[in-house]
């Protein structure tokens, strides 16, 4: 049994240090990327308060060939849209720009894709391997402006650690 005891009252830097350590331990030595993404999605859900969706989109071939797109990966939350082209929505913007998207109000984000009407704010961090985006980590919250620069830094550290494990 894995029994992590996140303390949401911790300062963000400490909470994210614990999250990173738990994710490192859970994925160490495991080559299956689906298993690793699934466990990390569960950790994100357990460690971070006030979320309504936490998980991954992977870069994968389009069904019809052509440019790669984002395809739904392991997550916790309500069923979500399956395929997102680069450049579309918050996830597509993160994939195309290879830069973190910290969105205080999703309704003000051009092209935002509403998978869950409850979502008010969103944080999407690209996972880069050798400079290329291989996935994004997506967090949604039902609260406006839920995510801060501390959250972005914490998830970016997680993404860097996962780059060779997913």
Name the residues that contact ligand SME, by CB under 6 A.
Answer: 53, 80-81, 84, 89-92, 112-113, 115, 119, 122, 138, 140
Minimum CB distance to ligand SME smaller for 32 or for 116 = 116
Q: How many CA atoms lie within 13 A of 123 on its CB side?
A: 23
Q: Which is nearer to ligand SME, 40 or 84 (CB)?
A: 84
Q: Is 28 exposed, middle or buried (0-12, 13-18, 19+ CB in 10 A)?
A: exposed
What minimum distance in Å lies between the beta carbon of 149 and ligand SME?
20
Contact 36, 165 (CB under 8 A): yes
Q: Can you say whether the dihedral through the CA atoms of 19, 21, 26, 31 is positive or negative?
A: positive
Min dist. Cβ of residue 80 to ligand SME (A): 4
Smallest gap, in angstroms, from Cβ of residue 53 to ligand SME? Answer: 5
* Smallest separation, CB 141 to ligand SME (Å): 10
C-beta closer to ligand SME: residue 4 or 60: 60
Residues in a beta bridge with 84: 70
Nearest residue to ligand SME, by Cβ distance, number only: 89
- Which residue, 140 or 156, is less far from ligand SME as judged by CB? 140
Residue with tokens 């994710």: 23
Shortest distance, position 89 Cβ to ligand SME, whole Å:
3
Closer residue to ligand SME in complex, CB, 77/154? 77
Residues 6 or more apart in contact with residue 56 via CB below 8 angstroms = 37, 40, 41, 73, 74, 75, 135, 136, 137, 138, 166
Question: What's the start-to-end Cα distance of the chain, in Å?
Answer: 22
């Amino acid at each position: 049994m894995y029994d992590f005891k996140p303390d949401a009252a911790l300062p963000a830097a400490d909470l994210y240090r614990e999250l990173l350590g738990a994710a490192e331990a859970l994925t160490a030595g495991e080559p299956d990327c689906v298993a690793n993404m699934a466990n990390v999605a569960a950790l994100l859900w357990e460690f971070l308060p006030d979320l309504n969706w936490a998980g991954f989109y992977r870069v994968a071939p389009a069904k019809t060939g052509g440019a790669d797109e984002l395809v739904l990966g392991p997550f916790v939350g309500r069923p979500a849209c399956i395929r997102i082209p680069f450049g579309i929505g918050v996830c597509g913007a993160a994939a195309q720009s290879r830069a973190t998207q910290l969105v205080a109000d999703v309704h003000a984000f051009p092209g935002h894709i509403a998978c869950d009407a409850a979502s008010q704010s969103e944080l999407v961090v690209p996972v880069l391997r050798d400079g290329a985006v291989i996935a994004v980590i997506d967090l949604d919250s039902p609260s406006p402006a839920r995510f801060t620069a501390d959250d972005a830094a914490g998830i970016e550290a997680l993404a860097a650690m996962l780059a060779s494990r997913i």
